[in-house]
Amino acid sequence: MRFGTMFSDIVSSLLRRPITELYPVERRATPDRLRGQLHWDWEACTGCSLCAKECPAQAVDLIVIDKKAKQFAMRYHTDRCIYCAQCVVNCRFGCLEMSSDEWELASANKDPFTVYYGDEANVEAALADRAD
């Protein structure tokens, strides 16, 4: 039984900088494995849709433009995504990956939350489809 067992910590803290990081003034590097925004490499995609089928949050829509010609587009909702990487695990062709530095995805309006991937013509086709 004694008093002030934390006294040594108190003294050492007084001589040290606070541990708190003043985000966003100070930013620390993110680890390589951090799961940020999803990216899609449309050239390797075969359109199996396993990414969309097993997405727990319905954050990924694979839009089929032309199945035979293997033309697809992807609509990705960053606000629905729970960053679990199940789609990345599911993709047998390695077309999906999660960025480790795009993680500051907050926005004041909802527009940036819907991201389209694919080559230009396919994205336009997907957008036109949506407009109808």
Partner 1 sequence: MTETEKFSIPIGPQHPALKEPEHFVFSVDGEMVTSASVRLGYAHRGIEKSTENRNWAQNLYLLERICGICSHTHALTYCLGVEKLAGVEIPPRANAIRTLVAEMERVHSHLLWLGVAAHEAGFDTLFMYSWRDRETIMDLLEQLTGNRVNYSANVLGGVKFDVDEELAGAILDGLDYLEKRTYHYLDVVTTDAAFLQRTRGVGVMSAERAERLGVVGPTARASSVARDVRIDAPYAGYDEYVPNLIGHTTGDLEARFEVRIKELFESYRLIREILATIPEGELTSRMPRRIKANEAFSRVEAPRGEVFYYLRSNGSDKPDRIKVRTPTLCNMASVLTLVIGQQLADIPMILVGVDPCFSCNDRMVAINRGGRSEEVWTWERLRQYGIDYYGGSH
Partner 2 sequence: MIELAALLFFPGGLFVLLNGMAYEWVDRKLVARFQNRVGPRWFQPLADNVKLLVNEEVIPENVDARLFITLPVVALAGVLTAALYVPIAGFDPAFSFEGDLIVTIYMLSLLTMATGLAGANTRDRFSLIGATRTLTQLFSYEAPFLLAFLAPAVVAGSWQISEINDYAGDHLWLILTQPIGAIVALLGLMGKLEIPPFDAPEAETEIVAGALTEYSGRGLALFHLGRNVELVAGITLLAAFYLGGISNPIEYVLKTLAVLFVLATVQTAVARLRIDQTVGVWWRYGVLLVLLQWLALIGAEVIF
Residues that bind partner 1 (CB under 8 A): 1-6, 9-10, 19, 31, 33-35, 53-57, 82-86, 89-90, 98, 100
Tokens of 106: 């907050």
SS3 (DSSP) at 77: strand
- C-beta of 10: minimal distance to partner 2 in Å? 4
**With CB under 8 A, what is the number of residues at the site for partner 2?**
13
Could you say which of partner 2, partner 1, none residue 83 binds, taking C-beta under 5 to 8 angstroms by partner kind? partner 1
> Taking the CB of residue 20, how many other CB atoms lie within 10 A of it?
7
CA dihedral 102, 104, 109, 110 (to 10 degrees): 50
User: Cα–Cα distance between 76 and 126 in angstroms, integer?
Assistant: 12
The verdict on 2 binding partner 2 (CB under 8 A) reads no
- C-beta of 4: minimal distance to partner 1 in Å? 8
The verdict on 7 binding partner 2 (CB under 8 A) reads yes
Give, in order, the Cα–Cα distances in Å from 57 to each of 53, 54, 67, 105.
Answer: 10, 9, 25, 17
For residues 17 to 56, the per-residue mask of contacts with partner 2, x marking binding by CB under 8 A and - elsewhere, is -xxx-x----------------------------------
